Each structure stands twice: as C-alpha cells, then as structure tokens.
Structure 1
Amino acid sequence: MSQSTLAIGANPATSTFTFGSHAVRIIVRDGEPWFVASDVAAALGYQTAKDAARNLGEHQKGGHILPTPGGDQRVTIINESGLYRLVLRSRKPEAEKFSDWVTGEVLPSIRKTGGYGKPAYDPDQIALAHRAAVIATAKVYQSVFDAVMQAQDWQLNRYMLRFDVTAEDGTVARVKPVDRNAYVMPIDRFHCAIEDSLAVDVQTLTQLASTCTARLGRMAARNVVAAPQQGSLQLR
C-alpha cells in the first residue's frame, strides 16, 4: 500500500507528496493544483517529462520556476485535467492506484491546508489596503469639516461633531448637519422633556399620543397571544 507524506517547502505554494518511492511536487497556482511533470512521469512509467507532456493540450501544461539547492529551475507542470489524461495513457499497473491516491489523499490534504480551492490572499496587501481606505476616509471627513467651518453661515446652522482617533494616534473630525428642530437626548429622558421642557405644538403631541397608544395596544395583544391558557370560561 502506498503512503503519502506532505512536506511544505520554503515556497508556501509548493507541496511535496510521496507515492511509494516517488516524490510528487504540487504547485498551487491561482487556487488550482499543478503537478510537476517529471515527478508524474516517473510515477506513471513515462521515460521523460517531455514524453509525458507531448500529447497534452496547451491548456493542460505550463512552465514554473522552482527554487532548488542548485538554483532556480524551470520545470514543466500539468494541471489536474492533464494529470488524468496521463493516467489513462499509462501502461503501468499502479496508474489506477496513483489516480485514487491523488483524488483520495492528495487533493483533500491540500484543501485542508488552505492552498487548494481558495484564492491566495497576501495579509500584508490586505493590511495596506485597509490602511489606505482608513486614510482616504479620514481625508474626506476632514475636507467636509473644513468646508463647513469656512462657510459663512456655519454659525446659523446646527451640526453634530465628533472626533475619531486614527491609527497614528491623531484625530479626525466628523461633522453632520442636524435639523433645526432636532433634539439629542437619552431615550429614558424623552418623556420628561415632553412633559415640561420641549416646545411641542398640539398637533405633534396628538400624533405622539396616538402612536404611543397604538404601540401599547400591539404589545398587549402579543402578550395575550403568547401567554399560556390557564383555563376556559364556559357560559350557560
């Protein structure tokens, strides 16, 4: 029975598996596995990688630079479709076992490592993009704040202003227009303000009372439906 061994080299996109006595290197490119042709050729009984790849389509093979102890080496690689085509053309008895080994052990193992079936994201690039977005957003808010302060009528209007701390331990001002008749207060103080401090006309008070009464009615109806029935009353 063949055994598989996974070894992750210096290049995080390259994995090495062992099929019997043959090492098979796999490169994950754009989320898809590509197999080093010379390794597959040796495992399937082909004389050379060139001999193995001769009958493959152009979309099934390509080139890749692999770092080796003797320096960078350009190798021929084949994709999953090309691999199965070589399996079908192989006369070696172990070809079927090799195919089962790839589909049953190699590919699932690569999926678990996160290198196969998932796009490769660079954490540094993501961090840089996030930082650039934060800086750009801060500049927009600062520009809005500067424009408001430079306007002639800023003292005649109402604005909500807040300051956010940036990644550089600085601050950025955020300003937002507020309606002239808007009030900002905790919800638990709203009823007190309605009672004695807010200037509210009769029509607004009537609408508010109607809304509150309807809300209480809906809440009471839901409570009645949700409450378990304790018994029933029968009239005779």
Structure 2
Amino acid sequence: MYEQNTPPDESAVQRQDAIDINDFVFAATGARVRRLTLPDGTHWFPAVDVATDLGYANTRDALRHAVSQKHTTSLGDLARTVDPVDGSCKIAGHRLKKHMKMVNLLGLVQLVNGCTKPEAEPFKNWVSEVIVTVQRDGSYSLEPAPVQPAPGGGTAYVMPQQVADAIVRLEERNVRADEMLLAFQEERGELLREISRSQGVIAAALQQIATALDRPAVGQRPAARAESTPQELLAAWKAKNLVVTEDIHAVAAYLAPALLRGGAQYRLEEIAARTGLAQARVHDCVRMLLKRGCMRQQGCTPEGAPVYVLP
C-alpha cells in the first residue's frame, strides 16, 4: 500500500495539486513512497522510505545533513494533529509507527537534491531550471492542460516535460526489470512443470503397484478452476508492476470488465467522462497499457471507436 490518507475534513479547504503527487514523488525518487495527507492537503512521507529509495545508508544522518529541521517531524506529532484523541490508533492501522520520522514535500526535495543516484538527475535538473526561471522572470508556472476536467474539478495542468520524461524512463526501467523477472518465472515454471511430470510418472507407478496388490490408491482431487474476474485481472497487472499510477489504475479498472468479455470499444472522451480524468491524461494511460502489453488494439468499430482486446 503506497498511499496512506487520513479521513477527509469537510471543514478544511480542498486543494488540488498542480502535479499529481504520486507522479511527482515517483519522478523525484524513482519509487512508490507511502504517503500521509493531512486534511489541509499537505503531504508527509516516512523518512526511512525516501532515504532508502534514494540510496542513503543511514536515515538519521541523511535527515541531519540534508533536511532542515522545520521540514521533518515525528509521526506521533502528526497523529495528534490529525485527531487529538485517537489519531495514533488510526495511523497505526496504516502500518506506520508512532516513532517514525516524517518529512514534508520540501524535506523530500531536499533529500533528493542531496542524493547521488543517476536516476535523480533529471528531477534535480528540473528543480534547478525552476529556480533559474524564477530568478530571471520572477515566477514559474505550468501550462494549463488543453482538456480541462468537469466544472468544479479544479484546473488541470500539463506536466513539465522533464518530469514526464523522468517518469517514462523510470517506468521503462521497471518494464525491463519486469521482463527479467518474467523470464526467471518462466524458467522456474518450466522446472516446476518438469517436477510435476516426474511426480505424475511416480504416481502412475504407485497406482500400478497398488492395483497389483489390490489396495486402493489415494487419489488426487483436481484443483478447482476459478473464473477470471476484473479484480483478478487488475491484481495480476498490479503484481507485475504494469499499473503504476492511480490514473492508469482507474482507466484499467474501467476497461477490465469489457476486456474479459471479449473486447472494449470506448472512445477516449467516454473513458474520460466515466473516470473523471482529463482526455489527454486518458490518452497517456491507454498508451501506457498498450505499451506494457496489458492489452492490444484490434481495429476500430464502424463508428471509429478503437477496439481493445487482451493480448
């Protein structure tokens, strides 16, 4: 579980991040980091998660040398901020411990700037470009997305190209790792099949011996074959790290039932309307599902809607 959220506070002012926080942190650290979001919209991350993913040998030293004290706190203090009575219990339910050190988004960026992993360079370069732009022009702003969400959903922005490129490179790295893991699993599967065939030969020999001795042999019940469901399909994609962001998961969850029925025939605008995502974001998510082999396109309907099927 990569995201930990506290119950929403209806009295708090709702705030929408200009860049999806999961995408932002993934581009910065190269990993999915657990997150605690307070009712006021501020994000906090376990320092040990961030430091480990960035290659720091010692979390305490990393915080002391790289992070300003005002950008770190203990989880116990945050728990009391969320709920003075039983906040600690709620946090414990998220598999976080009260003594853990937490960093806010500024602290996370400071840890990134202090690390030496090559994967962090694109993000650090973007941060430097933002600073230079502010110094030169007095401000830095994102381009509004060409397709905006429904009224009342806030303004959507185009992700900076440097951040998008970093995400693509990291996802491609994960794909290569998945391919290596898949090859290993195939080799392991072949070995298990060979063992199974050997066990079948032994079982047949034992059956013959039992028949010759006029003794009943212990039979094996065939394993029940479960029907494939959309939830199982999504779980399989997630286990292989093919669904890496909430947006991709939302699009995949919408397409999965139709894919299992034989084919999904939806226009991008229809998916956008049902998922609440911007059409441009839906296009990116569908492209990633196709690229990762979760599905493939099999022509179009007479009306022009693309037809997606399982590979």
Q: TM-score, normalised by structure 1?
A: 0.33
> Which has the higher relative contact order, 1 or 2, with Cα contacts under 8 A spaced 6 or more apart?
2
Q: Which has the higher helix share?
A: 2
Higher Cα Rg, which structure: 1
Query: Comparing both structures, which one devotes a greater share of its residues to strand?
Result: 1
The TM-score, its normalising length taken from structure 2, stands at 0.26
